[in-house]
Chains A and B, each alone.
Chain A
Amino acid sequence: MFDDSNIIAGLEVGTSKICVVVGELGPDGAVNIIGLGQARSRGVRKSEIIDPAQVEEDLRGAMFEAEQMADVEIRSVYLGVSGGHIRGFNNRGMHPVVSADREITPDDVEDVVKNAKAINLPAEDTVIHAVRQHFSVDGQDGVANPVGMLGARLGVDMHVIHGNANRLQNVIRLVRATSLEVDDVVFTGIASSLALLNNEQKELGALVIDLGGGTTEYVVYANGVMRHSGVLAVGGDHVSNDLAYGLKVPLSRAEKLKIEFGSALVNEETRGQTISLTNELGLELKRINLEHLQRIMSLRLEEIFELIAQDLERVGLAEYLRAGVLLCGGGARVPGLVKLAENVFQMNVTAGHTCSVSGVTAALDQPEFAAGIGLVKFGSLKTRHREGRSFLPRGLKDMFGKLIQRS
């Protein structure tokens, strides 16, 4: 058995699957993925729990599988959360430097960060992340580390992600009920972007879209910092549901048709083609027009991208994405999705690949595991930070301690 302190597990309770990724932190700080467990999720809609008992059962299944594979006992997890209630926005905090010589001390930095976090949230909301962007000293923007500089006013920009406390509690409580500890709660959009982006891409500016089963998360990095994030409570489930409705087939059948014949674009050659559905005796039940199938999918996926594009346009970030768009999540498997996204965003789009982790690579380089792997990576950064070996890049900070203990 391994020494437990080196084991980091990421848990994502998703709409279509529950996935556990186990990583081992090497002495040099590199992460090696040693285990993976997953189970079909049956008690989650739009990334929120609707049937706790079912989720608990599925969760135990996924945990068992991951523990078997990694041959370790998982005691605590980094928990990925999502849902339509989660919002992100930018906030600025200011703090006057009071020391006589006007030199900025670590205490000043702590104070200004505290100020930036003091925000007006709806009463039922809680902060999930407050990510430091840049400091400003006397109006000079873009200061990465102001300690030791001289100035009268210290400011900091932060990206704050918040969500409904009770809904976040639900999943935390459930995980704790299976006698697991929750190390930290992480917005899955951040986890995915950690898994997919390297520092260069963050510097150039990139948009990461995680097309999940129930929700679509997106995160924008520019100039090395997180600038924007959001969740659309629309995902692969909606595609299946549209198909079930439009083609008049049961949902389970729609799901299969989506996987087998789905496409994000209407292919010219499918025009007029039909598929016949047969029953177990081989008798024809129904004929489905392939073009309709693809058009229904295409419209839905295009709409998701359009909504994201509109949001970026609104916050004025569309011009900052020089590294383009990266796609992940189960939805990224849909053929033609990259092309569709290119049409909508008018920029370079790639299917994201997880970087900077090692381990069972073939199994790992699947778009739907990006969030799980990102959770492990988040955990590794955090652990290193805790051990004081390095400063956590971009100051991902946990504000969730209180919340976790409360439950």
Chain B
Amino acid sequence: MASAQQAQTQASAEPKPQTVTVTSTRDPVDKSYRKMIRGMERFEREHALAPQATLRFHLLPRTPGVNMHGITLRALGDHIALPIPVADDNTFTLPRNEQALREDAAVIANRKTTSMTWRAQVITPGLPPGTRRLGDLRLECLVGMEAGLVSNSSPLFGWISNALTTPEQVCNSPDGNFLFFSERPIFSVILRAGERSEILPFRMLYAGGEQTREMLPFCDCQVLLDRTYYAPIWDRSWPDDTLVSFEYMDEPSAEVKP
């Protein structure tokens, strides 16, 4: 009885699809519901990279001054508007809905699409504070690329990039340049696997440190440059259990023993 009530409560709490007629034209850089579901399927297929981890999607600021509070999301098709609850930390999961898939729905926020960047978030529970796990980052790259989350400013660049860069090409190549974002501005990033420990070179921080003011608007690191790093996800000499730890700009220097 209790479980039936619970199920009823859960069912009533779940977002219900609404039937609507959508008259507006989809923005070419809106996120594709189908692609994001494909990203979730990729997560299931490649779960061995992060067996204990769960998948969420994460919204991050892309342009200066964007308000990241009170974001709402919907999957909008020709006749469906599926609400997608967004948590206070701007993460969300995507409910699977056959009608939204059939209608090739777009996932749309109550913000200009180009004002935010989107990432997969794969986190193994129980890691030491201020650390990430390399296998989680490998899976974030594969899911993020499969889901079409990396935001380019120009549809032209997006089209060409997609034609030439598969998730495998991006995530398994030293030149893949898939950007990760830390929680706070970083000063140093250290990899540790067993007895081996290495500090990431400067060129793997801050989007390579090569961005000019003119280039930054094209990069989805535009307002996150000081939180941006590349991880050596392509380098299989670092196992999936490698810990990636951060020294932040706003904390005392740690004693680093490479």
- A and B interact: no
Residues on A lying within 8 angstroms of B by beta carbon are none
